[in-house]
Amino acid sequence: MILKDIRVLDLSQYLAGPHCTLLLAGMGAEVIRIDNPKTGDTLSRAPVFYGKDGPKIQKFDDSDVGIAFLKRSRGKKSITLDLKSEEGNALFLKLVKKADVLVENFSVGVTERLEIDWSTLQKINPRLIYCSITGYGATGPDAKRRAYDLTTQAMSGLMSVTGQPGNPPTKAGTPLGDTISAGFAFSGILGALFHRERTGEGQHIDISMTDVLFSLIFDEALDIYEDLDMPFQQGNRIMRFSPFNTYPTKDGWLVIGVGHDAMWRSLCNLIGRKELSNHPEWGRMDWRVENNKQVDAVVAEWTKTITTAAAVKKLEADGIVASPVQDINDLLSWPHLHARGMIDTLSHPTLGKLANLKAAGFPLKFSAAETFYEGTAVLSGTHNTEILRDLLGLNEQEIEALARQSII
């Protein structure tokens, strides 16, 4: 696997950091979670839970663990370590000497208080790649503000451009601030590893979730929308193509995207509106973009008369880009995802394989390397003995003493 022999110390919690280290594990890195000996992994304590009695919102049984934990901790090892104790901190620094990458998403200032910040650890291991993921980054006047995915979607402007025109600001249906930032952190770490191969130098990677989302939405010409009297919220439309939207059918919804005028002519012929195909106004993309409502009404007249599957079949047969709007159940039964290894069956650390609980497979496919999420999410401290003994050289008596003192 591509990242074989790369050791990652995972100090992260909740979503952004754990998703980043999940991606690293999927490419073969040895990821070691550093969990709190008193509280364990934060995701394991977050609803929705799964245990011997199935899924539930509240935790009632020791077997109940967070489903997000089961998904995002696949392929990772775990030790428990009290970083606030002198002995725990010393053991952690020994681990740092043997690590390639560290990922953390503490609030700005926490790592300095624990004396595990970049400036401290680079002196111990100059080859270390240290990745920090925070709401607003390590610098700037808002650096110390606390953040969640929701606040980064709000502060980045993403919520202001999401939803139908005139509707309240809308959060994306999945935590994009966390997951996209995790992807950026993942790519940054790969770049830093390549840089280290050439120079021998480690470095600090400072990821701001707000920066990441801002960089994505501002690739669009949003700053001039008001000058053109266009609303920032465009719903499911795009201000380059028309028709380009979601349309109702007899039994559901589909999307149609017409990317050029030749495709528009094909659509007009298909829906029985041939007179619009070369019309001096309707035949021009710029006019259709400015008159989206009229265009959408014409398209919807046809889509409402036909089932989703029949419409998509006809549209694609005529070279028009279209697809059904799939829900979660549709995705789990979609043969294409199964063929690409994108549906994994989850396992529980004490209950084993969970046939009815699924997770996404690793999304990057390489021609010369295997990538996959290997193994079950393990409970906190599962690898204490292995790592402390085999990696740090502690004997059984020393490990038992650490456990008695609640350092591990």
Question: Is 2 within a domain?
Answer: no
Same domain, 164 and 43: yes
pLDDT in tens, 101-134: 999 999 999 999 999 999 999 999 999 999 999 9
Question: Is 244 within a domain?
Answer: no
Can you tell me whether residue 193 is helix, strand or coil?
helix
Q: Are 307 and 247 in contact (CB under 8 A)?
A: no
Through-space distance between the first and last CA atoms of the chain, rounded to whole angstroms: 31
- Which of 324, 353, 385 is the last residue before a domain boundary? 324
Q: Single out the catalytic residue among 117, 178, 206, 296.
A: 178
Can you tell me whether residue 21 is helix, strand or coil?
helix
Q: What is the DSSP letter of 276?
A: G
Q: Are 6 and 193 in contact (CB under 8 A)?
A: yes
**Is residue 172 scored above 90 in pLDDT?**
yes
Residues 6+ apart with CB under 8 A from 236: 244, 245, 246, 255
**Is residue 58 scored above 80 in pLDDT?**
yes
pTM, to two decimals: 0.94
- For 138-211, strand residue ranges (E) read 203-208
Residue 227 annotated to the active site: no
Same domain, 356 and 378: yes
Same domain, 307 and 169: no
Q: What is the DSSP letter of 40?
A: B
Question: Is 364 within a domain?
Answer: yes
What average pLDDT does the segment 266-280 reach? 96
Same domain, 359 and 400: yes
- Which of 301, 324, 347 is the last residue before a domain boundary? 324
Same domain, 153 and 59: yes
Same domain, 132 and 277: no
pLDDT in tens, 360-379: 999 999 999 999 998 899 99
Q: Indicate the burial class of 246 (C-beta count within 10 angstroms; 0-12, 13-18, 19 or more).
A: middle
Residue range(s) defining the domain that contains residue 199? 7-216+338-405
Question: Is 313 within a domain?
Answer: yes
Q: The domain that contains 291 carries what CATH number? A: 3.30.1540.10
Question: Is 108 within a domain?
Answer: yes
Q: Alpha-carbon distance 155 to 162, whole Å?
A: 13
Same domain, 110 and 188: yes
Q: How many structural domains comprise the chain? A: 2
Can you tell me whether residue 254 is helix, strand or coil?
strand
pLDDT in tens, 228-238: 888 888 899 98
Q: Any bridge partners for residue 343, and if so which?
A: 360
What percentage of the chain has pLDDT greater than the value 90? 93
Q: The domain that contains 144 carries what CATH number? A: 3.40.50.10540
Q: Alpha-carbon distance 149 to 155, whole Å?
A: 10
Same domain, 45 and 193: yes
Same domain, 270 and 169: no
Same domain, 165 and 280: no
Same domain, 348 and 320: no
